[in-house]
Amino acid sequence: MTFPRQTASYLMKRFEEVGIRPVTRHGQNFLIDLNLVELLVNSAELEPCDVVLEVGTGTGSLTAMMAQRAGAVVTVELDQQLHQLASEALVEFDNVVMLRLDALKNKNHFQPRVLEAVRECFDAIPNARFKLVANLPYNIATPVLSNLLSETPLPHSMVATVQKEVAERIAAPPRTKDYSALSVWMQAQCDIEIVRIMPPTVFWPRPKVDSAIIRITPNAALRERIPDLDFFHNFARSMFFHRRKYLRSELLSAFKDQLDKPAVDALMEKLQLGPQTRAEELSVETLLGLCEELRGRGLTLDL
């Protein structure tokens, strides 16, 4: 099955034919370098047992490529006109489920219908694996990637184009400006690889920033170290809420009315953390240990 190359000239002509324009607020930047589209798909290593979630159908070009390799593709598009455009392009595929809605219910949760559709496909394919593969809109990339780690089924892998800055934050080591709660949350559970950095010229319309293809692979051995994912997620966010504050102050703020200053000082001394320690200086392993020490005392966190 052959599909037109998604070049800038093709897209401009096609959009003109149907009388639409890319919507900047929806993050509509289309990947027009075919080699990079293939790299994105190849990096996902799709097989017939795979159920793929794509957030941002666009014109359906990436969807079609994946549908020829995967068992099923659930693709989500918010824009009514793009949804209609892609529906026409994908009409011959019986393994593509198209949803027109916002993939996210809010910043911390997916729309239930999205994951219901994934589970329906998942249950219909023997030995199925769930994968995210997407040219993600910049404005929802972080919640999409981070929230999927709390969902069922857990993704086997996530391969996506994101803003370069987001990729660098996910992969950042301690004591760097990009190290954050997102870094800790993702690295505590996953193997991370930045596959390729991409300039604005490979997209239409061109964004104002560089992008990256990132591959995130949940690691069962890493996840087994975290007995309570929700508690750890809230803990990581609370420790970086004011990233320049000392860890002592962050702990007192996060566990207000549960820990007093002597208790925090004793805890930090037990873990051999100095009074001027900041969360951004600590490894993922150290933060995990601190988190479990607090959780083991029956403390609660509600962000």
Q: Check whether residue 189 and residue 260 sit in a common domain.
A: no
Low-confidence ranges of the chain (pLDDT < 50): none
> Closest by alpha carbon to 206, among 74, 76, 43, 28?
28
Helices assigned H by DSSP within 94-147: 112-124, 141-147
Q: Check whether residue 170 and residue 275 sit in a common domain.
A: no
- Check if the beta carbon of residue 214 is closer than 8 Å to that of residue 194: yes
CA angle (177, 180, 183) in 5-degree steps: 115
Q: How many residues does this entry show for the chain?
A: 303
Q: Is residue 300 situated within a structural domain?
A: no
For 106, residues 6+ apart whose C-beta sits below 8 A from its C-beta are none
Q: Check whether residue 165 and residue 253 sit in a common domain.
A: no
What single letter denotes the amino acid at residue 147? N
> Closest by alpha carbon to 144, among 196, 177, 106?
106
pLDDT of residue 26: 67
| Residue 197 bridge partners (DSSP) | 212
State which of 223, 242, 259 marks the end of a domain: 223
The enclosing domain of 203 has a CATH number of 3.40.50.150
- List the domain range (segments joined by +) for residue 287: 229-295
State which of 180, 196, 223 marks the end of a domain: 223
The enclosing domain of 256 has a CATH number of 1.10.8.100
pLDDT of residue 7: 76
> Closest by alpha carbon to 181, among 119, 235, 125, 127?
235
pLDDT of residue 273: 96
Q: Is residue 39 situated within a structural domain?
A: yes
Q: Check whether residue 277 and residue 172 sit in a common domain.
A: no
> Closest by alpha carbon to 202, among 2, 6, 3?
6
278/280 Cα distance (integer angstroms): 5
pLDDT of residue 263: 95
The helix or strand, by DSSP H or E, that contains position 216, with its residue range, turns out to be strand 211-218
Q: Is residue 21 situated within a structural domain?
A: yes
Residue 66 tokens read as: 């994946």
Q: Check whether residue 262 and residue 182 sit in a common domain.
A: no
- Check if the beta carbon of residue 79 is closer than 8 Å to that of residue 26: yes
Q: Check whether residue 130 and residue 239 sit in a common domain.
A: no
Under DSSP, is residue 200 helix (H, G, I), strand (E, B) or coil? helix
70/247 Cα distance (integer angstroms): 46
Q: Is residue 36 situated within a structural domain?
A: yes
Q: Is residue 165 situated within a structural domain?
A: yes
Q: Is residue 34 situated within a structural domain?
A: yes
- Check if the beta carbon of residue 59 is closer than 8 Å to that of residue 14: yes
Q: Is residue 152 situated within a structural domain?
A: yes
Residue 200 tokens read as: 């604005």
Instruction: Report the chain's mean pLDDT, rounded to a whole number.
Output: 93
pLDDT of residue 3: 62
Distances (CA, A) of 144 to 109, 290, 301: 9, 27, 23
The domain total for the chain is 2
- Check if the beta carbon of residue 170 is closer than 8 Å to that of residue 144: no
